Amino acid sequence: MGSISFGDGNRGFQIGKNDGHVEFYLPSERPETPPSPLSTVPFPRDPEFVTRDTLLSQIHKKASVPGGGSRIALVGLGGVGKSQLAIEYSYQVRSKSPSTWVFWVHASNEARFEQSFRDIADQVKIYGRQDPKVNIFKLVENWLRDEKLGKWVCILDNVDDDKFLCSLPAAGKRDPTIGLTNGLIRKPLLEYIPRSQNGSIVITSRSREVALKMVDHEDLIKVEPMEQSESLELLRRKLNHPEKSQECLQLVNALEFMPLAIIQAASYIRNRAPRYSVSQYLADFEGSDRKATRLLEKEAGRLSRDWEAKNSILVTWQISFNHLRQTNPSAAELLSFMSFFDRQGIPENLIRLRPEANCTSGSELLDGYSDEEISESDGEPEFEDYITTLRDYSFVSISENSTLFTMHRLVQLTTRAWLKSHGQLERWKDRFINMLCDEFPTGEYENWERCRPLFPHVKSAMSQRPASPQCQQEWATLLYRGAWYASQSGNIADTREMASKSRDQRSILLGHEHEEVIDCTSMLATAYWLDGRWEEAEQLNVQVMETRKTKLGEDHPDTLSSMANLASTYRDQDEARRGSSRHAVEYGQPSIDVPGSGPMGRGRAARGAGDGDLQDEARRRSSRHAVEYGQPSID
């Protein structure tokens, strides 16, 4: 018989033929020389890290309160830089105080949490760690409580789901490796990291709610996107650009100063240089939702991030959305609806509605939930719970007046991409269009107060053309009303774009000579008129007038209105020409002819109608119409 060692502390014995009793005693664990203070942080220091002094100062200040035992939490969206701040903080601690131990604990799930504790026990050479019967959590806890061993900092990274940390294990649960009585886990795992005079704990989490179960309100540090100057510096370092170009500034603005999104963009550009540039990335990103989504899906390459973490901002947030969908489906539903609004000034009264769209039947967003359950009006407590959950995940923020909400554009884009990948985009788009069409009135002056706060969301709807014909009709109606309001407030660009989109859609659905199409054409003519594009306005106004004459008759109020609009166009066109002639005479240049010059003027002459003729005709017909119907005539 002989003893044999297999390495890594494993031992056994081998014998030949034996008919008797055999006993084998393992040698006792040999004492080891305690190591000097060290760090178990598994990531190298990032030489391109952009110092966020305000946040790092807060961490240092809160972690070094007199008496020790501090617990602080860094909370924010995935990809906002929480773990990077914690990594940099750990290196700063070791630089300032080499006698301080720094421990890194992966806290995304129970298995990785346990493995981190075993790594700590191995690194600091805790006596008894090789005993298969030992509770490794209790062993590390006892070591941390021993003040003679010096100061320590413990970083719990990715504490997004606290259930396994904060809940008492089920009765009889044993150490995961063996399950013997003296290995019983007798308290929540988080309690094995003690509040010690010589230690402090730093937590990173996407969930404010989870973090507040572990730290006090005053010890919670909200990690927001970078400042503009910080994000520019990050992009320059990752691109190795020596200068701040206008394109770089535009790009970090488009990426909303999110560190991971900026690093992704820089990686994508560098990998394709010199055949690809910042300006090309910006053009692609702003070109369409589809192009932006494709870019945000690209991994950023090797980063100082945990292997479980995704190096794509879109994938990172979609993981958060999936978790939200599983834990709070009603909050996920609310986020889906909010992703179609303009990102700022989302009104509480509108998102409470969330109607079941009449436009399309659609499939379910949430497995196991009926449309009736999803579309029920929210009671006050339930709605507040949903909003609080979205705020805790940093998906939304609440304005000072507390009835308006704001979202990151990239969060909205990511949410819509998730909905599209799960076949739910059209369903929620239809709900949004349906609700907004019900709420946004026509552009008369008395409606302006209602129109003003809703108009940005109508603009957002411009790029959200629905797939179903019924909702396309509502979409066209919404854009026409938006163009009406925009024209009354002198907003030329939006008047033109909304009227044009509405006309195109109505032409497809209703035919070119339908009255609603003619209304859109008239609105588009108004946009050209406001923009001083007289000839284009004249062409459209002539088209509107001739169609209305044919379909409605010469005495119809809409026909008379068309004649008046055309007359105004002629008048303004002539005044512009006269102004050009006066300018030419003053500066010794040849003058241009007034009314009869050019194709528009010749066309008008051929019809025998000057602007005065049309105005007079419109007045005469309007007066006659008013007398017939007992209404006051126009001057």
β-pairing, 10-14 vs 2-7, is antiparallel
Nearest CA among 614, 602, 621 for reference residue 571: 614
pTM listed for this prediction: 0.77
| Residue carrying the six token digits 């958060």 | 320
325 contacts 332 by C-beta, under 8 angstroms: yes
| Angstrom distance (rounded) from CA 252 to CA 217 | 31
| Angstrom distance (rounded) from CA 582 to CA 578 | 6
Kind plus residue range of the DSSP H or E element containing 332: helix 329-338
User: What is residue 573's predicted lDDT score, i.e. its pLDDT?
Assistant: 64
CA distances from 621 to 548, 550, 618, 634 (A): 14, 16, 5, 10
Nearest CA among 211, 206, 204 for reference residue 320: 206
Residue 401's SS3 state is coil
User: What is residue 243's predicted lDDT score, i.e. its pLDDT?
Assistant: 63
Phi, psi of 10 (to 5 degrees): -95, 135
| Angstrom distance (rounded) from CA 594 to CA 612 | 15
Residue type, 105: V
Residue type, 315: V
The residues that bridge with 221 in the sheet, in sequence order, are 74
Tokens of 309: 């973490």
For the chain, state the CA radius of gyration.
35
User: What is residue 371's predicted lDDT score, i.e. its pLDDT?
Assistant: 47
User: What is residue 13's predicted lDDT score, i.e. its pLDDT?
Assistant: 60
In sequence order, what DSSP letters do the residues of 137-189 get, joined into one string?
HHHHHHHHH-GGG--EEEEEE-----HHHHSPPPTT-B-TT---GGGB--S-G
Which residues lie below 8 Å from residue 76, measured CB to CB, with a gap of 6+?
Answer: 82, 206, 222, 223, 224, 394
| Angstrom distance (rounded) from CA 10 to CA 545 | 96
Residue 615's SS3 state is helix
User: What is residue 188's predicted lDDT score, i.e. its pLDDT?
Assistant: 87
User: Residues of the chain whose pLDDT is less than 50?
Assistant: 6-9, 172, 174-183, 357-358, 360-378, 580-585, 587-611, 614, 618-635
Degrees (nearest 5) of the Cα angle 281, 285, 289? Answer: 160
Encode 487-537 in three state secondary structure. Answer: HHCCCHHHHHHHHHHHHHHHHHHHCCCCHHHHHHHHHHHHHHHHCCCHHHH
Nearest CA among 398, 413, 385, 377 for reference residue 329: 385
Which residues lie below 8 Å from residue 122, measured CB to CB, with a gap of 6+?
Answer: 129
Architecture of the domain delimited by 53-222: 3-Layer(aba) Sandwich (3.40)
| b/e burial code for range 436-464 (CB count within 10 A of at least 16 → b) | bbebbbebeeebeeebeebbebbbbbbeb
Residue 88's SS3 state is helix
User: What region does 150 belong to: left with phi over 0, alpha with psi -120 to 50, or beta?
Assistant: left
Tokens of 24: 């084998």
User: What is residue 382's predicted lDDT score, i.e. its pLDDT?
Assistant: 87
User: What is residue 630's predicted lDDT score, i.e. its pLDDT?
Assistant: 42
The total of other beta-carbon atoms located within 10 Å of residue 416's CB is: 20
Nearest CA among 372, 403, 371 for reference residue 387: 403
| Angstrom distance (rounded) from CA 313 to CA 264 | 8
Residues of the chain with CATH 3.40.50.300: 53-222
